[in-house]
Structure 1
């Protein structure tokens, strides 16, 4: 569920194009390297290197491109190596060293470039230069689109691990019953996750990732979109649960003692997960190895991984030796241009996969009733509303009141209340600006439009929702709140772990502000005729338009919404390759909205309650 399901998979081996051996491997290295391109899904190509012990079959020979294990041969065990976020991916020297060590010890190792790394950069300009940075930046850039669908981009990373196993199972000289998985950092996350959901993984060694959600939160770090499990914390899934799901299969957790994945969480998690192994009669199958190093697949951890796989798969203990020779990326490249995107025919990337699913969603109708129920649940579920809002109004210039109140326990709402005509037609006008009160001026066009709304008298509230205006969190690195590296992005990600979202929470803030203002005795004394049953008219612009529409869909007290300059256009966001225009539209992510309400479905739901103006 946290992945949004796994993509459909053809159980037959994936098509492979063998590119020949990698040059530059010393004759006495004890292993050799084959270069290959794997079609992991229709139109999706992955560049890869296959490390094999010296003396085996050369797989680039046509007769051995795909085939069953020869009768009577047990074959070698194999390990899928999943890369962390190093730009070079399979060519990153520490990753080469791990794979070479495995091959020297008698194992086959298959290392794939992940999406957005190595030879698989998905956002190149006409000159072949990346428009979106490799690694975590690309994973988040495409991952934001996946979130709109209610999916984690990790679903496709797990899918590629499964296709790698499909391939290894059919290669000559590989024992299909002894296939393992390892990787560090982002590869450690993928190792942990894939092992939990793929039973064919016989042994696993996640490196420099395993800790606990609680300990990781203490460090204040953010993670790229591929490492966010939607609703994971809300449904009780922590790192230890993923380890426990692997029991009783052998697993060693490899940890750096000086890591931003806190070692305290690592030791606690392994200790707790070991209980599952004990209950299944394999108390020694889960181990922990630490090294006095920083965040990397250090040589000490690489050596420990090789020892682990040899023991798990019944191979002799490996001999100690020097670090394997490192090849330049060009020697390991599987493309003539260095990038699949620049090859004839190209390749599909994460964005293309998301866009295809979005287009399919457009053909699936959801009733108005079902959509309204879903939106109301998303906006209101799990809110911790205090019995008393604790409203405080402070005098401002020109008769304005500056106020704040408890939107939820320990969470604030804020706004500026402007006076208006009172009388029988008194109601409440709410203004939502793109950046909240941070852009409030007396001549702001949205404010002028709301002030001229002669359908209703009464006060006008310019509202700050959480993370905006007076409620904008201090960014620890001084980044813009529109940056994918910002504190606001980190908080949004944390909400996704809780099966919540910033957009749904902000829509709730609007409905809560209506409750507070219409129910406040001081406001009602100042504005006779105003009360809980008076109409509410919302005027919104930019990101505020998106939040206002969500609130109106969930709260029938909002009589109408007038919007201008909206930045959330699902057709644009979901089908445009370079979708982020810097407006911060990703703040509006509500997982599942693009699947249940694609295109202008939300506009249609609001019907005549929605007014769109220039």
Structure 2
């Protein structure tokens, strides 16, 4: 097998962006103009619909018998566990009470516990007057900058406490006192939502999700509640809104200690949500869940017939039509099991948020199922809530300022070290298993559309390669020459490499410039945030880097066949270098040399990067359990 020669060269003669636009174009100028019908979005939509239709058929079949339904539930539980990855081990919580605030009818304890060694969670515990033991509610919060101190969350906790519930309300990673990215002055560098995106890349490489770490904070929060003598361990509930509704959904499906759960302003269906508003923050997009047939209502169905209340809002950006679809699916399952009254829905005529009617509904729900009493709870207390500083648990307002505190980046690197110590020998077959990149024999021949050449006779041929239905790859082809053909894959678009291609062709090399999917003319125009389509692909269980590597292989094979050559050279740069490296490493008989200019050197770099989000498309699920980019050079 011929050894791959790897060179580092600099591309020369690159055109400016303005010049590039005046040079060559293959697809119509309005291609991708409609954000709802962009190439990658439309391509992935069909796969989402197919997966969800298959799931719906499986659910219909499961409703025919209790045995079939139990099998459906078990399959979805296993799918959720697979998506979350291997979770951390239970270690000492080392809880501390950092202070207590007296309020009319209840107290607020400032709690600090370790969900992992040296990794602290800040929380407020609302405790009713009396000796207990009390039923307890875990309250993961939504994307508020001040986390647990957000006004509507405080009001929900107050109302629950006044009606006899202990409530543990904690700061999620990246919010409140748990910011992970501070500037030189110790000030949080990002708002919570963006910090989640920056923190969300590394867990993918480790076979987890940012949601896995957030879930674990909640699981350990339940552990803490159950350790308290004033908590009745048999009466645990969970509620949260928005991002907290997301975490409530994870927790109620994962942890069977949660008897009653009320997720708010999150429950819908993938089919609705992927269209509008689109995928959420990093923690909301679990790997392979759509591909495995796991939809939003399955968070409820896996726990049926445990009591569950959907909290929703008419004017929410979370699609209310999807919410009612999810509720109807849940109602049918609960009815099949003989407990139709245990699942319900509240729709408040409000916008997104833990509004008053939803707070009241949650209290009534928990009173019924955890206290066995009928309660008409109304929120009459409109007194000012406490300030962020009053509820602050740590002295300086951020856990990262605690002595010997470990950051999430520290946890990433420590876990990667464990994975690296147990990596199996690297083979091409293993790389294929991790990335899903098919062999040349399994890749179909591309469709070729040769466009009319309106430029000079010496101009390159404009082509459109179709490697699979729904995907168009614009290309420029210089066919003259009898030396080794060269495939150029620029991340900046074809016009950035035209002069280089002309120089190589003048030296006798046939040259094909290919724009692989989501580059150049097919580049996705942001419609939710950069990476929305990546996350849909991720939830389908598809590898973005792998798809682009297959585009390179299909193009290289076509170029080889057109010139009856033994091999081709591959030149790439920037964000396409990892895909090119995979293509060359997997098919050395096809690709004799790989030349690149600047690119990500190692996935390991992203574990501690505070600016990892721009590299999201290069993230491969669980890849660091098997290899890093430099390891491919050995192949």
Place the TM-score, normalised by the shorter chain, in its bin: 0.7 to 0.9
The answer to whether structure 1 residue 9 and structure 2 residue 9 are counterparts is no
Deviation, structure 1 residue 321: 3.5
Answer whether contact 1:376 1:553 (CA < 8 A) is retained.
no
Separation (CA, whole Å) in 2 of partners of 1:319 and 1:287: 17
Answer whether contact 2:432 2:438 (CA < 8 A) is retained.
no
Gap change, CA 1:187 and 1:277, over 3 Å in 2: same
Partner of 1:225: 282
Partner of 2:106: 31
Counterpart mapping for 1:11-160 below 5 A: 14-22=93-101, 25=103, 29-56=104-131, 75-131=133-189, 133-160=190-217
Separation (CA, whole Å) in 2 of partners of 1:376 and 1:228: 19
Gap change, CA 1:462 and 1:95, over 3 Å in 2: same
Deviation, structure 1 residue 450: 5.5
Deviation, structure 1 residue 38: 0.9
Q: SS where residue 257 of structure 1 aligns? A: strand
Counterpart mapping for 1:303-322 below 5 A: 303-316=360-373, 317-322=375-380
Deviation, structure 1 residue 302: 0.6
Partner of 1:418: 478
Gap change, CA 1:388 and 1:502, over 3 Å in 2: closer
The answer to whether structure 1 residue 510 and structure 2 residue 585 are counterparts is no
Answer whether contact 2:446 2:467 (CA < 8 A) is retained.
no
Deviation, structure 1 residue 376: 7.7
Gap change, CA 1:342 and 1:506, over 3 Å in 2: same
Deviation, structure 1 residue 21: 1.0
Counterpart mapping for 1:77-476 below 5 A: 77-131=135-189, 133-316=190-373, 317-323=375-381, 325=383, 326-345=385-404, 347-369=405-427, 372=430, 374-375=432-433, 378-380=436-438, 389-395=447-453, 396=455, 398-422=458-482, 426-437=483-494, 439-442=496-499, 444=500, 447=501, 457-476=508-527
Q: SS where residue 85 of structure 1 aligns? A: coil
Gap change, CA 1:134 and 1:282, over 3 Å in 2: same
Deviation, structure 1 residue 8: 1.7
Separation (CA, whole Å) in 2 of partners of 1:102 and 1:413: 57
The answer to whether structure 1 residue 569 and structure 2 residue 602 are counterparts is yes
Q: 2:626 aligns with which of 582, 590, 596?
A: 596
Please, what TM-score do these two structures have when normalized by structure 1? 0.84
Partner of 1:554: 586
Deviation, structure 1 residue 555: 3.0
Answer whether contact 1:358 1:598 (CA < 8 A) is retained.
no
Deviation, structure 1 residue 599: 5.7
Separation (CA, whole Å) in 2 of partners of 1:105 and 1:550: 59
Gap change, CA 1:179 and 1:242, over 3 Å in 2: same
Answer whether contact 2:201 2:606 (CA < 8 A) is retained.
no
Partner of 1:541: 573
Q: SS where residue 205 of structure 1 aligns? A: strand
Answer whether contact 1:230 1:499 (CA < 8 A) is retained.
yes
Deviation, structure 1 residue 596: 1.1
Partner of 1:59: none
Separation (CA, whole Å) in 1 of partners of 2:435 and 2:377: 59
Gap change, CA 1:172 and 1:220, over 3 Å in 2: closer
Answer whether contact 1:418 1:460 (CA < 8 A) is retained.
yes
Kindly indicate whether structure 1 or structure 2 has the higher relative contact order, using CA contacts under 8 Å at least 6 residues apart: 2
Deviation, structure 1 residue 375: 5.0
The superposition leaves residues 435-481 of structure 1 with CA deviations (integer Å, 9 ceiling, x where unpaired) of 23253341x5xx588569x7xx541112211111111123347xxxx
RMSD: 2.5
Q: SS where residue 218 of structure 1 aligns? A: coil
- Of 252-261 and 538-547, more deviation after overlay is shown by 538-547
Q: SS where residue 109 of structure 1 aligns? A: strand
Gap change, CA 1:596 and 1:134, over 3 Å in 2: same
Separation (CA, whole Å) in 2 of partners of 1:189 and 1:102: 20
Separation (CA, whole Å) in 2 of partners of 1:476 and 1:241: 27
Answer whether contact 2:481 2:510 (CA < 8 A) is retained.
yes
Gap change, CA 1:145 and 1:377, over 3 Å in 2: closer
Separation (CA, whole Å) in 2 of partners of 1:239 and 1:376: 26
Partner of 1:67: none
Separation (CA, whole Å) in 1 of partners of 2:510 and 2:246: 51
Separation (CA, whole Å) in 2 of partners of 1:308 and 1:449: 73
- Of 102-111 and 591-600, more deviation after overlay is shown by 591-600
Partner of 1:497: 539
The superposition leaves residues 573-602 of structure 1 with CA deviations (integer Å, 9 ceiling, x where unpaired) of 22x34243x8x4332112122221136212
Answer whether contact 2:435 2:546 (CA < 8 A) is retained.
no
Q: SS where residue 15 of structure 1 aligns? A: coil
Separation (CA, whole Å) in 1 of partners of 2:382 and 2:216: 30
Separation (CA, whole Å) in 1 of partners of 2:611 and 2:602: 10
Answer whether contact 1:436 1:462 (CA < 8 A) is retained.
no
Separation (CA, whole Å) in 2 of partners of 1:105 and 1:384: 63
Separation (CA, whole Å) in 2 of partners of 1:195 and 1:155: 14
Separation (CA, whole Å) in 1 of partners of 2:403 and 2:332: 52
Deviation, structure 1 residue 314: 2.2
Separation (CA, whole Å) in 1 of partners of 2:601 and 2:517: 18
Q: How many residues align?
A: 549
The superposition leaves residues 493-532 of structure 1 with CA deviations (integer Å, 9 ceiling, x where unpaired) of 110001012211111111122344445xxxx4xxxxx13x
The superposition leaves residues 356-397 of structure 1 with CA deviations (integer Å, 9 ceiling, x where unpaired) of 11122222232233654535861239x997776142334255
Separation (CA, whole Å) in 2 of partners of 1:285 and 1:506: 47
The superposition leaves residues 557-582 of structure 1 with CA deviations (integer Å, 9 ceiling, x where unpaired) of 222212231224223222x34243x8
Answer whether contact 1:375 1:550 (CA < 8 A) is retained.
no
